[in-house]
Structure 1
Amino acid sequence: MSKLRLGCIADDFTGATDLANNLVRRGMRVVQTIGVPSSPLASDADAVVIALKSRTIPAEQAVEQSLKALQWLKEQDTQQTYFKYCSTFDSTPDGNIGPVIEALMQALDTEFTIACPAFPENGRTVFKGYLFVGDVLLHESGMSKHPLTPMTDSNLVRVLQAQMTGQVGLLDHTVVRQGLPFMRDSIQEMRQQGVKAAVVDAVDDADLLTIGLAVSDLKLITAGSGVAIGLPQNYGIQPDNQASALPTAIGRQAIVSGSCSVATNAQVTHFKQTGGASFAVDPLQLARGDDVVARAMAWASTCDPSSPLLFYATAEPEAVKAVQQQLGVAEAGHIVEKTLSEIARRLVEGGVGQLVVAGGETSGACVQALEITQMRIGPQIAPGVPWCHAHSPYALGKGVHVALKSGNFGSMDFFTHAFELLH
């Protein structure tokens, strides 16, 4: 196997495919693994993305998992390491992004890195250190009401500094726009001043390309998926459509949605209002012991096999809070993920070959239930969301096409558009 140019550690499953998608669009051959591989990759790749499920777990557990992933990457003699987090900088209230960054820096013996969640193509920009979602600040975007990772402060320097022991600085837009030499000089000055991590402004793809060149010699890059578009150029790799080719899609179509984000709520509503067949998963029924999976499968057997089916636990923030108050946050999330992942497994066993999963936690649970260990990254459905192809023992040797969508991503008609694109 050829030497890996880039080794990536992503803190959730949809974030991993988001990152892999941007690398593939720029011509890199990418393999995504589900968890830390137990052996070297079986095929050649320019980059590997290790998908963890560490975004909402305690910081010490997130650090432990990330260091295990880094150890595997070191064993593959990876040239550069990339820690990928959400473009809305999601982390637990106690903060696990900062601790993971510092642990990776120590393990890589490096004293400086950047932090840049910007993904302008998907409406995530950073200006003067403040994170915007579309035209509004992060905390005004609806993310302040997220049930697991409420983001109430849009100042990334302040947020990250609260999570790190080392000094956090800012490379603002005036630095980035003055070009590569000036940016590299500014990075050197920060290093001399003892800054450990610099939040970097980016408002468009031109900024990301400049940032990509400026960090070519860093051992560690920490970012959302956006910075990835500027990295393949450092390895002499150019965009190539063949990098995203996948086998022909077959089988029934289904959607499993556990995200409660504003975007996914709108997508679920749009699908239902345009005549899509849907089945609602009620956490309170699950808590009572109702066999919701059996009812879901019985319902699916009565539906038109030529049309996509939606299974959803998506709800408005007020409804989610009401359930959490009765069951507890952890228990409510656990029983929903377990149920949706079992539905996904039963669907694939029953002939579904094209599966969209909405929500990072739900995606993690579903790919684990399907026993998927590696995925080939294919064409982009929407910014940050590609179709993938994977082998699963439940797919009867045929493989399954999977799209893992972050809750915040995609247009209102994402669910229907995804299947149209695949064909």
Structure 2
Amino acid sequence: MTPRDVPTGHHGLALTFYGDDFTGSTDVMEALTLAGIPTVLFLDAPTPELLAAHPDALAIGVAGISRTMSPEEMDATLPGIFSRLAGLRAPLFHYKICSTFDSSPHTGSIGRAAEILRRIFPGYPMPILVAVPELGRYAAFGHLFASAGRDVHRLDRHPVMSRHPVTPMSESDLLVHLAAQTDLPTALVDLRALGGPDAAVDERVDAVLASGAQIVHFDTVDAATQRQVGRTLTRLAEGRPGGEPLVVIGSSGVEYALDQAWPEGRGVPVGQPDEVADVDQTLVIAGSRARVTDDQVAWAIENGFAEVRVDPAAATGPDAAAYATVVVERAAAAWRRGGHVLVRTPPKSGTSDVDGNLLGAALGRIADGLGRLVDVRRLVVAGGDTSGFVARALGIETLRLVRQLAPGAPLCRATSRNGRFDGLEICLKGGKNGTPDYFVRIAALASSRLLNL
């Protein structure tokens, strides 16, 4: 793969990023790699030694869990990571958030993250870009819209996000929603400002940026507006004094917009056939409560996956360690019989009264325990929070893209401090990502029988 010819900073990097959850972080890695930007995703702020092991990288990121943090936890965790990434002095720093703006004043506060970013990266207004037309996310006149099946809904009327169990969206105007999380002044670059010749767009955008706002939201609904935003981000990053990074808050729409604006070379193929392993068995850990994941679980079971159920109350109760051992033994027995194994929690109604962090940690222990008994070489984890807990339990240090599977849910290869999981093929899938046959299609992947994905 020939890397893109893109602007880079002092360390040869075009972009650094921090993801507020694990599946969103792999989404960014996928978008950049497919755009011809070799990208490495770390689970912690990388040491110089780890960076040196990836001399070809043009972008690096850190997969975090700030989407589930309180503001106080953010204050304790994020400044150190942001400072390490700021020291790499890439032209752009991206704080990656979900394309449905999952956040509240008390959980995953994007406003608090912006305040921390402002302290680490002082001065210039921070653009926000949330929409990803490729994933059915659109922003018009400050309001966010998201698809659900064939329909597109305003976010406060979305059948899922308006009823989200942790961060329900009761407001589709993103700057109004953000005002409950921070006092930083905000402004909007709407669709009207992004139309017409480039010079006119630049003039209108610069007028908004000069208004005194610290956060500026950009509408995006299609390729044309996406290109204008990407061109604006590139222009602003190249114009920063002293090589200071431009800070951008947003979804993977940031990378899709940059791809529209950076020099030609998009669509570089990745994941050659011999890079996909011949794997006879696949393990799925499903902790997501999303309806999409429920459909994928049902499809997998109908197609022969051995189901191992996890009782959330038992997995997080006073005898959690003993219960985890029981689940591991059941899963190991199913694995030894051959075929694919699916370890799953029940649908939403069965987990609503259980601490999600405790359940995620339990699923991580189960994945690690199973890996001690059987040879797992391909793993799929469903659920953004679950993915973070499982990846850390397995000692994973880095991820790189192997093959695109479904938007935002690629097949990756891991390096791990734990030799049992070094070289593991892994998919970290958000609950709402993928088609109903997603697990089955991954299980069918092999170098000699690649599917048309």
Are residue 388 (structure 1) and residue 384 (structure 2) matched?
no
* Aligned residue identity for 2:276: T
The one-letter code sitting in structure 1 at the alignment partner of 2:36 is: G
Q: Kindly provide the amino acid, as one letter, of the partner of residue 110 in structure 1.
A: G
Aligned to 2:170: 152
Q: CA deviation at 1:159?
A: 0.7
Superposed structure 1 runs of 4+ greater than 4 Å apart: 232-235, 242-246
User: Given the superposition, is the C-alpha separation of residues 173 and 142 from structure 1 closer, same or farther in structure 2, using an over 3 Å criterion?
Assistant: same
The amino acid that maps onto 2:343 is F
Q: Which residue of 2 aligns with 1:231?
A: 258
Return the alpha-carbon distance in structure 2 between the equivalents of residues 397 and 13 of structure 1. 18
Match of 1:333 in 2: 356
Give runs of aligned pairs for residues 13-162 of structure 1, distance below 5 A: 13-40=22-49, 41=51, 42-44=53-55, 45-94=57-106, 96-134=109-147, 135-139=152-156, 140-162=158-180
The one-letter amino acid of 2:14's match is: R
Cα shift at 1:300: 2.6
Residues 2-34 of structure 1, C-alpha deviations (whole Å, 9 max, x = no match): 511101111111111011110111110000000
Q: Which amino acid aligns with 1:361?
A: D
Equivalent in the alignment of 2:319: 289
2:326 is the counterpart of 1:303: no
Q: Does the 8 Å contact 1:180/1:214 carry over to 2?
A: no
Amino acid at match of 1:297: V
One-letter amino acid matched to 1:248: V
Do 2:11 and 2:88's aligned partners in 1 also have CA atoms closer than 8 Å?
Answer: no
- What TM-score results when the alignment is normalised by the length of structure 2? 0.84
Cα gap change, 1:2/1:236 in structure 2, threshold over 3 Å: closer, same or farther? farther
Distance across 2 between alignment mates of 1:156 and 1:7 = 24
1:353 paired residue number: 377
Secondary structure of 1:412's match? coil
Specify the SS of the correspondent of 2:396.
coil
Instruction: Give the letter aligned to residue 136 of structure 1.
Output: H
In the TM superposition, 1:173-184 aligns within 5 A as 173-178=191-196, 180-184=198-202
Change beyond 3 A, Cα 1:207–1:274: farther
- Deviation, 1:227, is 1.9
In structure 1, C-alpha distance between the alignment counterparts of 2:193 and 2:432, rounded to whole Å: 30
Deviation at 1:292, TM superposition (A): 3.2
CA contact (8 A) 1:244 1:377 kept: yes
Distance 2:222 2:294 in 1: 27
Which residue number corresponds to residue 221 of structure 1? 248
Distance in structure 2 (CA, Å) of the matches to 1:393 and 1:406: 25
Which consecutive residues of structure 1, in runs of 5 or more, have no partner in the other structure? 325-331
Distance change (3 Å), C-alpha of 1:214 and 1:81: same
Closer, same or farther in 2 for the Cα pair 1:17/1:94, shift >3 Å? same
Contact 2:331/2:343 (8 A) holds in 1: no
CA distance in 2, matches of 1:20, 1:205: 20
- Equivalent residue number for residue 221 of structure 2: 203
Query: Residue 403 of structure 1 aligns to which amino acid in structure 2?
Result: C
Work out whether residues 105 and 181 of structure 2, in 8 Å CA contact, stay in contact via their aligned partners in 1.
no
Do the aligned residues in 2 keep the contact of 1:52 with 1:65 (CA within 8 Å)?
Answer: no
Amino acid in the other structure paired with 2:110:
I
TM-score after normalising by structure 1: 0.90
Whether 2:375 is the aligned partner of 1:344: answer: no
* 2:7 matched residue in structure 1: none
Partner of 1:327: none
The answer for unaligned runs of 5 or more in structure 2 is 1-9, 238-245
Percentage identity across paired residues of the two chains: 28
Q: Secondary structure at 1:105's aligned position in 2?
A: helix
- Identify which range, 334-343 or 239-248, moves more after superposition: 239-248
